[in-house]
Structure 1
Amino acid sequence: MGLVAEFQIDCEALPLTDVATAVPEATLLLEIQYNHGDRPPFLVTVHGGSQAVIETALTEAFDVGEWTLIGQAGDTHRYQVQAALSFEQQLGDHLDNLAGLEALATADAIIERIEVVPGGWQQTGWFASRDTFGKFSSFWQQNAGFQLLRLTHDEESEPPGDGLTDRQREALRIAYELGYFDIPRQASLERVAAELGISASSVSERLRRAQTELIEETVAPTWPPLPDEAPSF
């Protein structure tokens, strides 16, 4: 019986973590094109954040060779990024077992979502068996940091939005009730933060992650390719 796992790998040496650190208010989703040699290009979808800050961060990142904006729609931007380093060059000084990392690439698993976060990657993947997942998690526990966020059997599907945590649901509900999502906005981020008893930056991150989860579960699977230019309203 297969497993679906959501987990975070805490390793600052992973590609594009510097970019995520520079733009903490944005969500960076990464796709790796493995069939392009030892420096596979990345497709990076960025939700939110300042385009100028994002592109400055890409330009200044030590592990980015070249980048190209390939499409945008609203506050979503898609980039093709050429890696400046191979995985061996990027991770060699940080992982003791590079051969083990290469072995993971041939494991009976599919990583379907990679979110780059400050300090690492948050991933969702399908694993053929508990043994397969055990080898994957053991590698990262031994070589970096590993946090398991959710683990279910593959037939235990969840309805859209069920990936939200209780705190994310609460933040969305309070923000909605106070009018944070109204146009024009009726409540500031600080007002929502005061109601929840946490900092404004924590509210911002919690709402961003909740909105990203809802988009991934409901809208993203039906998206057509992004247009070359965003329509004006």
Structure 2
Amino acid sequence: MATVMEFTSPADEFPLGTVFENLPAVSVELERLIPHETLIIPYFWVRGAEAEDIEAAFEAHAGVINIELIDSVDDEYLLRAEWEETYFGLLSALASANIAVLSGVGTNDGWRFEVRGENREAVSEFRTICQNHDIPIEITAVHELLPVQGDGYELTETQREALVLAYERGYFDSPREASLEEVATELGITQQSLSSRLRRGHRRLIAGTLIR
């Protein structure tokens, strides 16, 4: 059965984390990770700085080959990064174990990841790879995917918890009875993490109920 693991990692351990040295107020959220031959190309959103400053900050990383601005929405910027084949770190470990990234949010305080393996063996393999390459991670939760009523879609426990609590607190009401910050505080996570869980939960629910 598919297994979900949540873990944290230091801000500078992930290749994109070097941006926090120059722009400590920004937040970074991974959009998707695409294996491309021997490279892993991440698409990611950055908030809290101007596009020109963001590109310059990321390009300062020694392993980065290219940073490209793809799109922008208000004060959020979607970028695409490539880096050298010889780099081996957290992304390489995830790819080696065939682990899918459900969400990844980074701030100056560190990274929070939610990933999915085909089974517990895949998750265990990822942990072993990290240990063998001295990649520091701190596992905060491991659980199986929970099927939701109906066919064709699944939610993780954390996505279901976030959606249900947001609904119960009136986040989806108009006018809202609770803010994103209030719901995030109750869950003990950042606003960025909550926003990511809600968005991915919505995507899974829509895919399973409206898209046939």
Q: What TM-score does the superposition give when structure 1 sets the normalisation length?
A: 0.59
Structure 2 gaps of 5+ residues are 147-155, 167-177, 204-212
When the two chains are superposed, the root-mean-square deviation of aligned CA atoms in Å is 3.9
Q: Which has the higher strand share?
A: 2
Partner of 2:35: 34
What per-residue deviation string (whole Å, max 9, x for no partner) do you get for residues 73-107 of structure 1?
Answer: 11210012232x11x2x23xx89xxxxx67x5353
Per the TM alignment, residue 19 of structure 1 is displaced from its structure 2 partner at its CA by 1.4
Q: Which has the larger displacement, 112-121 or 133-142?
A: 112-121
Identity %: 17
Per the TM alignment, residue 221 of structure 1 is displaced from its structure 2 partner at its CA by 6.1
SS in 2 for 1:16: helix
Partner of 1:57: 57
Structure 1 gaps of 5+ residues are 96-100, 177-206, 224-233
2:137 to 119, 138, 146: 146
Q: Distance in 1 between matches of 2:101 and 2:22?
A: 25
Per the TM alignment, residue 15 of structure 1 is displaced from its structure 2 partner at its CA by 1.9
Per the TM alignment, residue 57 of structure 1 is displaced from its structure 2 partner at its CA by 0.2
Which has the larger Rg? 1
Contact 1:18-1:118 within 8 A present in 2 as well: no
Count matched residues. Answer: 176
Q: Are 1:159 and 2:161 matched, yes or no?
A: yes
Q: Distance in 1 between matches of 2:112 and 2:135?
A: 13
Q: Distance in 2 between matches of 1:152 and 1:115?
A: 20
AA of the residue aligned to 1:114: G
Partner of 1:131: 121
SS in 1 for 2:123: helix
1:213 to 193, 207, 212: 193
Per the TM alignment, residue 154 of structure 1 is displaced from its structure 2 partner at its CA by 1.0
What per-residue deviation string (whole Å, max 9, x for no partner) do you get for residues 168-203 of structure 1?
Answer: x9x944xx9xxxxxxxxxxxxxxxxxxxxxxxxxxx
Higher relative contact order (CA 8 A, sep 6+): 1
Q: Which runs of structure 2 are paired with 1:1-233 in the superposition (5 Å)?
A: 1-10=1-10, 12=12, 14-30=14-30, 31-35=32-36, 37-83=37-83, 85-86=84-85, 88=86, 90-91=87-88, 105=95, 107=97, 109-117=99-107, 121-142=111-132, 143-155=134-146, 157=157, 158-160=160-162, 172-173=181-182, 210-219=190-199
Q: Distance in 2 between matches of 1:211 and 1:24?
A: 17
Q: Distance in 2 between matches of 1:108 and 1:54?
A: 30
